[in-house]
A and B are shown apart, each in its own frame.
Chain A
């Protein structure tokens, strides 16, 4: 491998590992130009490391910040709670809707029964009227026979 095949910046930045790192080190031991290249990079990185981290002027506070507190529904919301809500809703809907449905069924049954009863009474009336007509005719016939009158 030639000198240009080695990525000394990746090496100095700790990005080479395993076999690549070993090969680069073996080459640097035998190549003055690459050693100097590496030394220059290390010197630059050492200089960069002199820049110290600074403390933040103030802490980033969250505990007292209302914006970060979960809303009331986020506090209580969970899959179990969601399931319970669905069941409760179903019970409430059932309780509200079911009586209406039953009332409608009762009304329909009563109406049907009334119709049936009225039809039965109507049929009985017709029979009674027919019987009454027969009795009238029979009475007329008997009266004619007793009085000797012919209906002609």
Chain B
């Protein structure tokens, strides 16, 4: 992980000097993570793809403004967060962004094989703030402090959103989990 961070730092330095190939390599390393974060947050593949493209374009243009290359990942996800919420606000000015869950498998009786669909449905029923907290922590592995930087809010807010989300997920998934255990 440390070796990887050093390599990223080198690539960032080269990209800052206009080395497009170095930036391409950086993109190839991060595009899957950024795309999946945006896909779960936005809930639409094409939109997630378009926003991913926009994120990497803005990241390239603003690379000289990145003070600490070691914070590239949280900086990149902050751009992704801003772009995603910009789209979601345009799409739906108020209220929850994903009112209609992609899957309703978590409701009612569930089969064990439907667990991943149940998870998808449960995630989509969270508020966008709660869902994002789960995405950043559980799927992207950011620390609370890094999440606070990405979301530009206090650590206490990050924990509050995440802990509430985990309680809701625990309740929503319990039928599937019990069914899977039986």
Interface residues of A (CB under 8 A from B): 9-10, 13, 15, 40-41, 43-45, 47-60, 62-63, 67-70, 74-75
Are A62 and B24 interface neighbours, CB within 8 A? yes
Which of B49, B57, B119, B173 is the one whose CB lies under 8 Å from A56?
B49
Does B129 touch A at the CB level, under 8 Å? no
How many residues of chain B have a CB within 8 Å of chain A? 42
Chain A residue contacts of B31, Cβ below 8 A = 56, 59-60
Are B53 and A60 interface neighbours, CB within 8 A? yes
Are A43 and B36 interface neighbours, CB within 8 A? no
Q: Tell me what chain A mostly uses at the interface: helix, strand, loop, or mixed.
A: loop
Are B176 and A75 interface neighbours, CB within 8 A? no
Which of B20, B57, B143 is the one whose CB lies under 8 Å from A15?
B143
Chain A residue contacts of B49, Cβ below 8 A = 56-58
CA distance A57 to B166 in the complex (A): 30
Does B101 touch A at the CB level, under 8 Å? no
Are A50 and B115 interface neighbours, CB within 8 A? yes
Given contact pairs A60-B52, A74-B18, A48 touches B162 in the complex (Cβ within 8 A): no
Chain A residue contacts of B170, Cβ below 8 A = 40-41, 44
Q: Tell me what chain B mostly uses at the interface: helix, strand, loop, or mixed.
A: helix
Are B115 and A47 interface neighbours, CB within 8 A? yes
Q: Mark B24-66, 1 if CB is under 8 A from A, else 0.
A: 1001100111011001000001100100110011001000000
Chain B residue contacts of A52, Cβ below 8 A = 116
Choose among A40, A44, A54, A55 the residue with the greatest number of B CB atoms under 10 Å from its CB.
Answer: A44
Interface residues of B (CB under 8 A from A): 18, 20-21, 23-24, 27-28, 31-33, 35-36, 39, 45-46, 49, 52-53, 56-57, 60, 115-116, 118-120, 123, 134, 137-139, 143-144, 159, 162-163, 166, 169-170, 173, 176-177
Are A54 and B162 interface neighbours, CB within 8 A? no
Are A47 and B173 interface neighbours, CB within 8 A? yes
Which of A13, A44, A62 is the one whose CB lies under 8 Å from B173?
A44
Chain A residue contacts of B173, Cβ below 8 A = 44, 47
Q: How far is the CB of B62 from chain A (nearest CB, A)?
A: 13
Q: How far is the CB of B53 from chain A (nearest CB, A)?
A: 6
Are A62 and B27 interface neighbours, CB within 8 A? yes
Chain A residue contacts of B177, Cβ below 8 A = 43-44, 47
CA distance A68 to B23 in the complex (A): 10
CA distance A53 to B39 in the complex (A): 10
CA distance A52 to B36 in the complex (A): 9
Q: List 16 A-B contacts (CB under 8 A).
A: A15-B143, A41-B166, A44-B169, A47-B169, A47-B173, A48-B123, A50-B115, A51-B139, A52-B116, A53-B139, A54-B35, A54-B39, A58-B49, A60-B27, A67-B57, A68-B57
